[in-house]
């Protein structure tokens, strides 16, 4: 399940391009974040902690390997299976892309390992907002050129589908939406339609809640989250009782170069652009960079008495 911390990270990365794409729509940032959480949050919330470049995180936001299992069972839309895909124009090339996408993503997401072990399995959903491979016949270049890996491109597809949802519900003239009405639009995004009798209990059911209910919950959660901006530059003091590890990069996957004792003064030079919980520091005050430390163990030099000595470094 996506957490508030995950949403904070997502907003830090994508708030500005989302805002830039919304004029002329009744949507807001939190609504778009909710779609991203529901569609691929279970993937990017894991990948963001793997010290991967952001473009790699975007490339690995793929999923949905369910094939046709008979009338009314499994996938009904094109392509129902590998054979249907490779029979289409450029289908062999698309299968190679979709297959490799599955293998690469499954290296980080254990739930897909069994699918990746089957050589006939491949992904049907592509991009943060999961454009379905059923559109390959009409827009093959989008998939073959892997434009789903580019955030503005995958966002544009999402907004196009949401606009179609607005039309289905008769909301085209709206300049704003309630969160409940947006969840209805999202149901149309997921299913192609909306049944007023069922309310938000429509769309994909995950064993606990329906798609519409999840979207409403994610919008609510996103509205409670502001992106962290990290520490301001300046002088700080180490406040960890057992000392603070200086690392070669922003994350525990980087080697510890040494441990800075409690009370060590240093200068925070910059916050890591991908994860503001890590900051780059200068130990000598000479303008040269010495490494990264975990920001929670630092306090402003003038007020370091308010120590958080008992907070463990993330592992």
Looking at the structure, tell me whether residues 147 and 252 fall in a common domain.
no
Task: Identify the CA nearest to 242 among candidates 305, 154, 309, 146.
Answer: 309
Looking at the structure, tell me whether residues 112 and 166 fall in a common domain.
yes
Looking at the structure, tell me whether residues 107 and 31 fall in a common domain.
yes
Residue 309 is assigned to a structural domain of this protein? no
Q: What per-residue confidence (pLDDT) applies to 309?
A: 40
Q: What per-residue confidence (pLDDT) applies to 96?
A: 98
Domain count, the chain: 2
Residue 308 is assigned to a structural domain of this protein? no
**What is the length of the chain?**
315
Alpha-carbon dihedral angle through residues 137, 134, 62, 38, given to the nearest 10 degrees: 140
Looking at the structure, tell me whether residues 212 and 239 fall in a common domain.
no
Residue 141 is assigned to a structural domain of this protein? yes
Burial 275-303, CB ≥16 within 10 A → b, else e: bbbbbbbbbeeeeeebbbbbbbbbbeeee
Picking from 223, 250, 273, the residue at the C-terminal end of a domain is 223
Residue 241: give its domain's CATH number: 2.30.30.40
Residue 312 is assigned to a structural domain of this protein? no
Q: Which domain holds residue 262?
A: 234-303
Looking at the structure, tell me whether residues 135 and 168 fall in a common domain.
yes
| DSSP H or E run through 11 | helix 4-21
Segment-wise mean pLDDT, segments of 10 residues, the chain, 315 residues: 92 90 96 98 94 92 83 77 95 97 97 96 96 95 97 97 97 97 97 96 96 98 81 86 91 90 93 76 92 87 52 43
Q: What per-residue confidence (pLDDT) applies to 41?
A: 98
Q: What per-residue confidence (pLDDT) applies to 51?
A: 79
Looking at the structure, tell me whether residues 160 and 280 fall in a common domain.
no
Looking at the structure, tell me whether residues 144 and 252 fall in a common domain.
no
Looking at the structure, tell me whether residues 32 and 112 fall in a common domain.
yes
Whether 270 and 233 have beta carbons less than 8 Å apart is answered as yes
pTM of model > 0.85: no
Residue 310 is assigned to a structural domain of this protein? no
Looking at the structure, tell me whether residues 214 and 246 fall in a common domain.
no
Looking at the structure, tell me whether residues 63 and 157 fall in a common domain.
yes
Picking from 204, 223, 242, the residue at the C-terminal end of a domain is 223
CA distance to 121, 150, 279, per residue, from 42 (Å): 20, 19, 27
Residue 298 is assigned to a structural domain of this protein? yes
Q: What per-residue confidence (pLDDT) applies to 225?
A: 92
Coil, strand or helix: which one is 196? helix
Looking at the structure, tell me whether residues 153 and 265 fall in a common domain.
no
Q: What per-residue confidence (pLDDT) applies to 74?
A: 65
Residue 313 is assigned to a structural domain of this protein? no
Looking at the structure, tell me whether residues 99 and 180 fall in a common domain.
yes
Q: What per-residue confidence (pLDDT) applies to 308?
A: 39
Picking from 223, 249, 276, the residue at the C-terminal end of a domain is 223
Question: Can you read off the two tokens belonging to residue 2?
Answer: 């996506």
Residue 228 is assigned to a structural domain of this protein? no
Instruction: Identify the sign of the CA torsion 261, 263, 264, 269.
Output: positive
Q: What per-residue confidence (pLDDT) applies to 68?
A: 60
């Amino acid at each position: 399940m996506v957490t508030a911390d995950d949403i904070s990270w997502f907003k830090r990365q994508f708030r500005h391009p989302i805002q830039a794409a919304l004029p002329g729509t009744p949507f807001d940032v939190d609504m778009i974040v909710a779609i991203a959480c529901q569609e691929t949050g279970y993937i990017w919330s894991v990948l963001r902690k793997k010290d991967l470049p952001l473009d790699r995180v975007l490339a690995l936001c793929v999923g949905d390997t369910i094939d046709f299992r008979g009338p009314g069972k499994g996938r009904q839309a094109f392509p129902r299976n590998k054979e249907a895909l490779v029979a289409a124009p450029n289908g062999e090339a698309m299968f190679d892309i979709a297959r490799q996408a599955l293998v690469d993503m499954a290296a980080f997401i254990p739930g897909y390992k069994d699918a990746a072990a089957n050589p006939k399995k491949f992904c049907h959903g592509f991009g943060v907002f999961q454009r379905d491979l059923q559109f390959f016949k009409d827009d093959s270049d989008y998939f073959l050129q892997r434009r789903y890996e580019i955030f503005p491109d995958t966002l544009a597809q999402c907004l196009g589908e949401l606009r179609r949802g607005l039309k289905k519900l008769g909301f085209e003239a709206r300049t704003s939406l309630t969160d409940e009405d947006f969840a209805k639009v999202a149901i149309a995004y997921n299913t192609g339609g909306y049944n007023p009798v069922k309310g938000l209990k429509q769309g994909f059911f995950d064993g606990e809640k329906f798609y519409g209910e999840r979207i409403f919950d994610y919008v609510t959660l996103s509205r409670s989250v502001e992106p962290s901006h990290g520490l301001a530059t300046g002088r700080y003091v180490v406040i960890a009782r057992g000392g603070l590890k200086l690392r070669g990069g922003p994350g525990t996957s980087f080697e510890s170069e040494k441990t800075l004792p409690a009370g060590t003064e240093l200068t925070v030079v910059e916050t890591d652009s991908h994860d503001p919980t890590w900051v780059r520091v200068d130990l000598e005050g000479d303008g040269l960079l010495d490494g990264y430390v975990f920001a929670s163990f630092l306090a402003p030099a003038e007020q370091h008495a308010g120590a958080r000595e008992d907070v463990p470094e993330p592992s």
